[in-house]
Amino acid sequence: MSLSTTEPSSTGPDGSSATGAAGGDREPPGGQGPARARRHGDLPIHVVNGNIRMGRRLKDLWTHRELLVLLTRSQLKMKYKDSILGYVWSMLNPMLVLSIYYVIFKYISKNPTPDFAIWLFAGLLVWNLFNNAAMTATTVVVGNAGIVKKVAFPRELLAIATVGVALVLFLIQVGVLIVALAAFQHTPAYLYMTLLPFAMIDLIIFTSAVCIFLSAVNVYLRDTQHLTEVLLMAWFWSVPIVYEWSTVGPKFAKHGLTWLKYLYVMDPITPIAMTFQRAIYGNGYVLNGVHTTLLPDIGFVGYVLALTAVLVASVALFLLALVVFGRLEGNFAEEL
Amino acid sequence: MTQAAIEVDNLSKQFRLYNEKYTSLKERVVHGGRMPFVPFWALSDVNVDIREGETFGVLGRNGSGKSTLLKCIAGILKPTSGEIRVRGSLAAMLELGAGFQQELSGRDNIYLNGTLLGLSHAEIERRFDEIVAFAELEQFIDNQVKYYSSGMYVRLGFAVAVNVEPDVLLVDEVLAVGDAAFQRKCLDHVKRFQREGRTIVVVTHATDTIRQNCDRSMVMNHGRVITIDEPGEAIRAFLADLLGIGTLPGSEGGGIAGNVFSIGTVRCEHGGSGSRPHLYSGESLTVVADLESLGSVPDGMATIAIHDDKGEVVFASDPDDPACRVEVPLGGGTVRFDFPEVPLLDGTYSVSVGVRSLTDTAIFDWKDQVATFEVVNPNRTTGRVRLPLDVSFRHRATGMTGEVPVVPAIPSGDADVPRDSIW
């Protein structure tokens, strides 16, 4: 729980002077002058009780946005503390992962897609953000027990800060991507790039929801961190990132599993990743006069609709995560 | 009445004491998701209004719920039931440097901790040099705090905390840190907070802290409020509670030397007898002991010792003082020990009385800590005893002497900073 601010009490003070003489028969030794003047007329009243309403919770988050920036910054600093390469790792790491996938899918399983690295990169950008944040968020409350037990602040911020960290790493990787686009002389789909901010908003809200949820649950059930690792791995392969939608989507239809296709795209990460792929790589490629599409042919409006659906779902999940967090955080100080 | 800065209404907080804690999934499943626990009420039905601008003490022994109360007010713990209303901004100093990240530099930690305590980035920037200077860490501010000594660590913690300037400051007994010079600085800050009309709630079991600084004080035990009163009365109630008056162990059985002699009841009479249970510092005290004797003891030496609440001897009579010689005839009588003046300060003291042989080492009887008396100090002096004090001043140029007030005119000149408290 946290402190919440309400409007100044309607039964507010009369603004009169006599004050702090509160219990004033005993001045501190040497106290100069008798009056401890009341410093403010109307002060906001904080109420601490069992349940904090959602409105206050969101307002608290907003008033603590400076803290969010600082928590993000300190988590970033700690992530690369004492390492020689420091921030270089945030580029190096995904680059290495990217090259492994590239070698395997391009040369071992002979994927014919040209500029396959760009395709991979587009999807991995999305996944890396989600994955980085979710992995660190799971242990963030437990790892910051010192603060959680001794300082009052909206603890959700710890989880949201992990998203902030992941976002910074994401931006560094975007820099690498731009270099890669130039190197491969690959032209992105400029129209669809206008959808990227929208997709980012979806991604941030959805990731925050997952992070908030995981960080709170792990306090009570420490298995969560191990379970998360496995589930994230499975989740990764269920999103068309290292393979193309076109290699799975039609197969569902062929086996009469159209419902599975819908289930597949109901994973909020999938439409977001696809938007990135659509914008950065394009809808498909032409090789030897044959046109191959890699993504579902739903057009610009289709993407907008998909992202809107994801937004609605993400906001709902975010609020739900806050409710769960709020119910669990009451006993954080005892459980840690 | 002044407006309340903090209103605590029917506050209760339950902790669950788990005999075995199942935090893994397997154990949860095996036990059907339920964990056996014993409910423990750390706070039950606490009601208190803390007025704006007052310095309010919360006294209680370990486990009395005082820190839980502070954590609930601070918003760190969620109350099980009840409500707390706090007027104005609030900052809690529960542990100095609690929010510090070991791996970050002192500089980064000032920003992080300051923001956690509610300072804005701009404010921290403005006060940064002041904070560093206060903590006396100019040289080390860019080192990671994990390399700091514990003294540097808490100095930095305090330096950040006192710069927060909240309307309501909650302080747990964290402040007896640093060397004497640093304690002086901390004390100045607290005094300034008081002068500025901020509300301070301090949780401690140091009665000196309460006496010197608080306007009112609350005593807690087992999560309940025992009393809310002026510091002097509250301290008395606290000490009474701490000692559990009347439960002092008295030695049973007869005399040590052959059962011929025994000390019966031992009573304390003092200047306040009849009107109040305690005596004030400086009043007289008489200890009266009934003696029973089956024979005559011509060469008895009466001895008396006074112990403090920890059982340490604060006074023991001279074993060879001829004034203590008593002749006890067959049948016994009473022996009186008269102290014309008791210069002891606050506390509950116990009395041991014995009679031994003058000629040999035989002890006729010895009653260890059989009676108690309480001393309440009506003044602001602190410590264990009140020593007679005269202060005079000689002007350097004129050689004139004159009286100076014992209480210094400038608060920072604290002549009465106690040795082990920064308050």
B13 with B138, same domain? yes
State residue B418's pLDDT score.
Answer: 45
Is the pLDDT assigned to residue A136 strictly greater than 80?
A: yes
Is the pLDDT assigned to residue B372 strictly greater than 70?
A: yes
B207 with B75, same domain? yes
Question: Taking CB atoms and an 8 Å limit, are A36 and B53 in contact across chains?
Answer: yes
Q: What is the mean pLDDT of residues A103-122?
A: 85
Choose the closest CB to A30 out of B28, B89, B407: B407
Question: Taking CB atoms and an 8 Å limit, are A9 and B87 in contact across chains?
Answer: yes
Is the pLDDT assigned to residue B404 strictly greater than 60?
A: no
Mean pLDDT of chain A: 81
Banded model confidence at residue B252, pLDDT cuts 50, 70, 90: very low
Question: Taking CB atoms and an 8 Å limit, are B99 and A151 in contact across chains?
Answer: yes
Summarize pLDDT for B312-329 with one digit per residue, the tens. 778 888 777 777 888 777
State residue A196's pLDDT score.
Answer: 94
Stretch among A38-42, A185-189, B264-268, B335-339 having the lowest mean pLDDT: A38-42
Distance of CA A204 to the CA centre of its chain: 4
Q: What is the mean pLDDT of residues A151-155?
A: 85
State residue B21's pLDDT score.
Answer: 62
User: pLDDT higher for A162 or B266?
Assistant: A162
B300 with B344, same domain? yes
Query: Residues with Cβ < 8 Å from B216, sequence gap 6 or more?
Result: A23, B54, B56, B57, B228, B229, B230, B231, B234
List CB contacts (< 8 A) between A25 and chain B: 215
Is the pLDDT assigned to residue B243 strictly greater than 90?
A: no
B170 with B69, same domain? yes
List CB contacts (< 8 A) between B40 and chain A: none
Q: Which residue of A has its CA nearest to B53?
A: A20
Rg (CA), chain A: 26
List CB contacts (< 8 A) between B88 and chain A: 40, 43-44
CA distance B61 to A32: 34
State residue B35's pLDDT score.
Answer: 65
Question: Taking CB atoms and an 8 Å limit, are B409 and A3 in contact across chains?
Answer: no
Domain hosting A132: range is 52-335
The model's pTM is 0.70
Q: Is residue A2 part of a domain?
A: no
B233 with B271, same domain? no
Q: Is residue B65 part of a domain?
A: yes
Choose the closest CB to A28 out of B111, B194, B216: B194
B54-58, B163-167, B386-390, range with greatest mean pLDDT:
B54-58
Q: Which residue of A has its CA nearest to B381?
A: A29
Closest CA to A138 of A3, A23, A229: A229
Q: What torsion, rounded to 10 degrees, do the Cα atoms B138, B143, B147, B152 define?
A: 20
Query: Residues with Cβ < 8 Å from A92, sequence gap 6 or more?
Result: A85
C-beta separation of B106 from B156 below 8 A: yes
The dihedrals phi and psi of B224, each to the nearest 5 degrees, come to -115, 155
Domain hosting B332: range is 261-376
B112 with B186, same domain? yes
List CB contacts (< 8 A) between B214 and chain A: 26
Q: Is residue B404 part of a domain?
A: no
Distance of CA B58 to the CA centre of its chain: 10
Q: Is residue A219 part of a domain?
A: yes
3-class SS letters over chain B: CCCEEEEEEEEEEEEEEECCCCCCHHHHHHCCCCCCEEEEEEEEEEEEEEECCCEEEEEECCCCCHHHHHHHHHCCCCCCEEEEEEECCEEEECCCCCCCCCCCEHHHHHHHHHHHCCCCHHHHHHHHHHHHHHHCCHHHCCCEHHHCCHHHHHHHHHHHHHCCCCCEEEECCCCCCCCHHHHHHHHHHHHHHHHCCCEEEEEECCHHHHHHHCCEEEEEECCEEEEEECHHHHHHHHHHHHHCCCCCCCCCCCCCCCCCEEEEEEEEEECCCCCCCEEECCCCEEEEEEEEECCCEEEEEEEEEEECCCCCEEEECCCCCHHHEEEECCCCEEEEEEECCCCECCEEEEEEEEEEECCCCCEEEEEEEEEEEEEECCCCCCCCECCCCCCEEECCCCCCEEECCCCCCCHHHCCCCCCCCCC
Q: What is the mean pLDDT of residues B54-61?
A: 87
CA distance B276 to A230: 72
Summarize pLDDT for A317-331 with one digit per residue, the tens. 999 999 999 888 877
List CB contacts (< 8 A) between A139 and chain B: none
Closest CA to B79 of B11, B146, B159: B11
Summarize pLDDT for A5-35 with one digit per residue, the tens. 443 433 333 333 333 333 333 333 333 333 3
State residue B23's pLDDT score.
Answer: 63
Closest CA to A74 of A164, A185, A145: A164
Question: Taking CB atoms and an 8 Å limit, are A48 and B216 in contact across chains?
Answer: no
Summarize pLDDT for B210-235 with one digit per residue, the tens. 777 888 999 888 888 888 888 878 88
Summarize pLDDT for A180-224 with one digit per residue, the tens. 889 888 888 889 999 999 999 999 999 999 999 999 999 988 888
Question: Taking CB atoms and an 8 Å limit, are B88 and A44 in contact across chains?
Answer: yes
Is the pLDDT assigned to residue A304 strictly greater than 90?
A: yes
Mean pLDDT of chain B: 78
B304 with B236, same domain? no
State residue B259's pLDDT score.
Answer: 53
Residue from B101, B202, B214 to probe the interface with A (highest A Cβ count within 10 Å): B101
Query: Residues with Cβ < 8 Å from B258, sequence gap 6 or more?
Result: none
Is the pLDDT assigned to residue A53 strictly greater than 70?
A: yes
State residue A314's pLDDT score.
Answer: 95
Question: Taking CB atoms and an 8 Å limit, are A152 and B74 in contact across chains?
Answer: yes
Banded model confidence at residue B244, pLDDT cuts 50, 70, 90: low
Q: Is residue B398 part of a domain?
A: no
Distance from CA of B78 to the nearest CA of A (A): 5
Q: Is residue B107 part of a domain?
A: yes
Is the pLDDT assigned to residue B421 strictly greater than 60?
A: no
Question: Taking CB atoms and an 8 Å limit, are A36 and B196 in contact across chains?
Answer: yes
State residue A125's pLDDT score.
Answer: 92
Q: What is the mean pLDDT of residues A58-63?
A: 87
Going from the C-alpha of B225 to that of each of B9, B10, B44, B212, the distances in angstroms are 12, 11, 9, 22
List CB contacts (< 8 A) between B22 and chain A: none
List CB contacts (< 8 A) between B74 and chain A: 152
List CB contacts (< 8 A) between B85 and chain A: 45-48
Q: Which residue of A has its CA nearest to B3?
A: A13
Summarize pLDDT for B288-314 with one digit per residue, the tens. 888 887 777 777 888 888 888 776 778
Banded model confidence at residue B402, pLDDT cuts 50, 70, 90: low
Q: Is residue A60 part of a domain?
A: yes
Q: Which residue of B has its CA nearest to A1?
A: B78
Choose the closest CB to B104 out of A49, A78, A149: A78
Domain total for chain B?
2
Q: Is residue A134 part of a domain?
A: yes
Distance from CA of A94 to the nearest CA of B (A): 25
User: pLDDT higher for A139 or B380?
Assistant: A139
Question: Taking CB atoms and an 8 Å limit, are B191 and A28 in contact across chains?
Answer: yes
| Torsion sign (Cα): B153, B155, B159, B162 | positive
Residue from B1, B27, B52 to probe the interface with A (highest A Cβ count within 10 Å): B52
Domain total for chain A?
1
Q: Is residue A263 part of a domain?
A: yes
Q: Is residue B253 part of a domain?
A: no
C-beta separation of A44 from A8 below 8 A: yes
B126 C-beta neighbours (distance < 10 Å), count: 12
Banded model confidence at residue B366, pLDDT cuts 50, 70, 90: confident
Question: Taking CB atoms and an 8 Å limit, are B215 and A23 in contact across chains?
Answer: yes
A46-55, A117-126, B197-206, range with greatest mean pLDDT:
A117-126
Tokens for B325? 């010689």
Ramachandran quadrant class, B393 (left: phi over 0; alpha: psi -120 to 50; beta: rest)? beta
State residue A11's pLDDT score.
Answer: 37
* A/B interface, count of CB pairs below 8 Å: 184
Closest CA to B86 of B71, B94, B74: B74
Query: What letter represents residue A68's amino acid?
Result: L
Banded model confidence at residue B420, pLDDT cuts 50, 70, 90: very low
User: pLDDT higher for B191 or A276?
Assistant: A276
3-class SS letters over chain A: CCCEEECCCCCCCCCCCCCCCCCCCCCCCCCCCCCCCCCCCCCCEEEEECCCCHHHHHHHHHHCHHHHHHHHHHHHHHHCCCCCCCCHHHHHHHHHHHHHHHHHHHHHCCCCCCCHHHHHHHHHHHHHHHHHHHHHHHHHHHHCHHHHHHCCCCCHHHHHHHHHHHHHHHHHHHHHHHHHHHHHCCCCCHHHHCCHHHHHHHHHHHHHHHHHHHHHHHHHCCCHHHHHHHHHHHHHHHCCCCCCHHHHHHHHHHCCCHHHHHHHHHCCHHHHHHHHHHHHCCCEEEECCEEEECCCCCHHHHHHHHHHHHHHHHHHHHHHHHHHHHHHHCCHHHHC
Choose the closest CB to B112 out of A29, A74, A150: A74
Query: What letter represents residue B286's amino acid?
Result: T
State residue A295's pLDDT score.
Answer: 84
Question: Taking CB atoms and an 8 Å limit, are B88 and A43 in contact across chains?
Answer: yes
State residue B380's pLDDT score.
Answer: 79
Q: Is residue B102 part of a domain?
A: yes
A196-210, A287-301, B109-123, range with greatest mean pLDDT:
A196-210
User: pLDDT higher for A84 or A174?
Assistant: A174
Question: Taking CB atoms and an 8 Å limit, are A151 and B117 in contact across chains?
Answer: yes
Q: What is the mean pLDDT of residues B70-80?
A: 86
B195 with B324, same domain? no
Q: Is residue B48 part of a domain?
A: yes
Choose the closest CB to A31 out of B90, B195, B414: B195
Q: Is residue A13 part of a domain?
A: no
List CB contacts (< 8 A) between A77 and chain B: 103-104, 108
Residue from B14, B71, B77, B212 to probe the interface with A (highest A Cβ count within 10 Å): B77
State residue A20's pLDDT score.
Answer: 36
Residue from B78, B113, B379 to probe the interface with A (highest A Cβ count within 10 Å): B78
State residue B423's pLDDT score.
Answer: 44
List CB contacts (< 8 A) between B84 and chain A: 47-49
A209 C-beta neighbours (distance < 10 Å), count: 26
Is the pLDDT assigned to residue B91 strictly greater than 60?
A: yes
Q: Is residue A293 part of a domain?
A: yes
Choose the closest CB to A150 out of B76, B89, B213: B76
The dihedrals phi and psi of B330, each to the nearest 5 degrees, come to -55, 135
Is the pLDDT assigned to residue B335 strictly greater than 90?
A: no
State residue B361's pLDDT score.
Answer: 59
Distance from CA of B308 to the nearest CA of A (A): 28
B101 with B186, same domain? yes
Summarize pLDDT for A249-264 with one digit per residue, the tens. 777 777 777 777 777 7
Tokens for B248? 């002092």
Q: What is the mean pLDDT of residues A1-7?
A: 41
State residue A32's pLDDT score.
Answer: 36
C-beta separation of B336 from B288 below 8 A: yes
Stretch among A90-104, A190-204, A233-247, A298-312 having the lowest mean pLDDT: A90-104
B169 with B36, same domain? yes
Choose the closest CB to A46 out of B90, B104, B197: B90
Distance from CA of A138 to the nearest CA of B (A): 15
List CB contacts (< 8 A) between A227 and chain B: 25
CATH number of the domain enclosing B129: 3.40.50.300
Choose the closest CB to B98 out of A3, A74, A151: A151
State residue B176's pLDDT score.
Answer: 57
Choose the closest CB to A149 out of B28, B76, B120: B76
B20 with B132, same domain? yes
State residue B160's pLDDT score.
Answer: 85
Q: Is residue B295 part of a domain?
A: yes
Residue from B15, B73, B76, B167 to probe the interface with A (highest A Cβ count within 10 Å): B76
State residue B92's pLDDT score.
Answer: 81
Banded model confidence at residue B175, pLDDT cuts 50, 70, 90: low
Distance from CA of A176 to the nearest CA of B (A): 28
State residue A19's pLDDT score.
Answer: 36
B26 with B171, same domain? yes
How much of chain B exceeds pLDDT 90, in percent? 3
State residue A85's pLDDT score.
Answer: 78
